[in-house]
Structure 1
Amino acid sequence: MRLEIATGSRFRRNVPFEADDSVAEFLFQGSEQRYVGAYTLTMWENRGKENQTVVDRCDAFCLVACSCEESAESADEPNLDVETLELGTSNLETGVPGMSAYELFKEYNPGSELTEEQYAEAPVQAAEAALAMVEQLEKTEASVTKAEHTREQAEQGREASERARATAEQARVTAELQRTLAEQTRVTNESSRQTAETGRQAAETKREENTSEAIRNCKTATQEAEDEAARVRTLADNPPKIVEVDGMAYWAFYDLETKQYVTSQYRADDGTIVQQVEGSAVSLDVKGGTMYVCGELTSLTIASVENSTQPSIIRFTSGATATQFSYQDDFNITGWTKPEENRNYTICVLFGAGNMTYDE
């Protein structure tokens, strides 16, 4: 809140006040009452700022030069205290006997060339000069007031600009923070992409290696299968046969390396059965008597026995590969030794009573 008092363009200033409920109380000092005429009071709220409001009381009071200029209405104004000085009956003298002012001036300034008329006009000229000076002061004060008002407006504009600058700076800081976070995210994503690309290249290299290895293994397995099939076909085309040596019958087996039949030590005229087997998971049906199982195999299972004769001895001699030997639980097999893996054995299964001579 701001209270302003003014009379025309000659006098304008802010005055302090105190609030008594809804009444503003202030003092207008007599030392400031230099100009006669009507005075206006203006109450400002938020002057020069947002939500500015103003109310004026025109002709709030009027200063007069003498009491005879008081109006009758002034005495009836309820909010205005009018004081007058009443002088009692007395004799007023408008002068005192003695030297005039000019005579006193000449007495103390005998060298002055001022005439009495010039001396009399000097106060008037001085008053006019003073009045001109006062008017100039009023103009200067009005200029100062206007300049102050302009300064206040400029200050308000500066404050608004500063607030706008601070807001823009905050927005810039926020945008910079967002840019930094976005850049960090981009760097992280790029690192993840590079890692993923490295992993993809490694996986592609591994896939190519695995493909090459699988192709090589496939070729190797195919070749081994073809070789095995060829070997089996050769053995099937050349089964064991009986040959006569010195008037006695022996079993002869086809040798894949020499591609010729080789006579074995097994007699063919004493009821010995010789069976050549090939491949893995071979299931053998025992026909009875003495049976020699010859060939390369990875496992052998005694599936059945034709008569009640129980096996009594199982021996392994070199000649065939044996990684697994199994038999059914109802066979009473004794005295056998489990073969070692990845070694060559010839499997000899002996049934019936009696003894058998073999090479360990």
Structure 2
Amino acid sequence: MASQTLPATRHPGRSSESNSSLDDVANEKQRFTTDFSRARHGKADLKNSASSKRWKTFWSAFRYLQGLTPKQVDDFMASYVIYNLDWSDEKQMIAVLGNDYQEKVGDCLKAYYGVLNHLCALGDVEKMYIPPWISRKATVLENQLLYEETIAQDIGLKPGDKVLDLGCGRGRVAAHMAQYSGAHVTGLNIDPNQIAQAQAFNQDRKIPNTFVVQDFNSLPLPFQDESFDAFYQIQALSLCKDITALFREIFRVVKPGAKISLLDWVSLPAYDPQNPEHAELMRRVKPLIGAVGTPTPESLERSLRDAGFEVLKSDNASIDGLQAPLIDTVDGYFRAMRQLILGLVKLHLIPHHFKTLINRFCLDGLAFIKMDNMRLATTSYRIIAQKPAKN
């Protein structure tokens, strides 16, 4: 699928399945089809076409993975230890990682995402998240674009606004948010390599977003009071040790009346940690999605209110509360890629460490699908909150 943004036609308050959103998707598909047709007849500008950019990203990620050192591979595999832990059990954290466990978690995150973001870029999850299921007619990437547009609408972004993006990853979301709304995005991430990728991606598209290296477990945030018009984050909060403290910092740096958007991993009311099947699914899924903590909707809402925010919306953003159709699509793609990679490794055409990486990456997709279908947990829980305006 092409790695282009949808047209910047804002329709505040529209439903996620509205005709205008689906028309945007249809137009994007038509544009990609036209590019492909022209390419077959030698008439397309392949340097600037959407398909060319997508393949460029794929091959860039593939070459990076091909050149990994044994230490990078070992550090990536070792980093999974943190996903068998939970912030809520500090004794276990100390027992496994030592008294400086917070710093060790940070080191593991750098090793983990230093490889994971390139594995994700081999498919349609180069933004490193599976989006809510917004439209039945759209692909994974198109659902990402549609959801990102709902973020801009929910927090009321307009041209010239300054918005903070927590855990900005490869900078793809920030780029689309800026192009769609006209706002300036400041992205924050613990990993200098991801910041460099985000900067390069945005500069290549002449988008003047800025990116800052910062561990959001090391507070305060490096911003002045009331310096942002809005805030959003996508699936990063499980990596936060003290969510209430982080929300207080976000409250400090956003302006009065500012809205914030959260999309994250939560356990749902049906999840019972005493149920062996539930507990086993949780054990398998947390490493797959990279979750350390396991918040609930209620705990996030409580932390927001304790920080001073008013909760405006709290719901599952996916159709019927299910992400499983999109998870299944992603899982099927990477399982097929796994077979290809294993064949290439067997023929000695690519390094052996590709087998190690892809086997770990594809390990528990089916558990994720099952957990979602059982409505035990989700990564598409949405909360919109607001800092009260000054009287």
Q: Considering only CA atoms, is the larger Rg found in Structure 1 or Structure 2?
A: 1
Give the TM-score, by structure 2 length. Answer: 0.21
User: Which structure features the higher share of strand residues?
Assistant: 1
More contact order relative to length (CA 8 Å, sep ≥ 6): 2
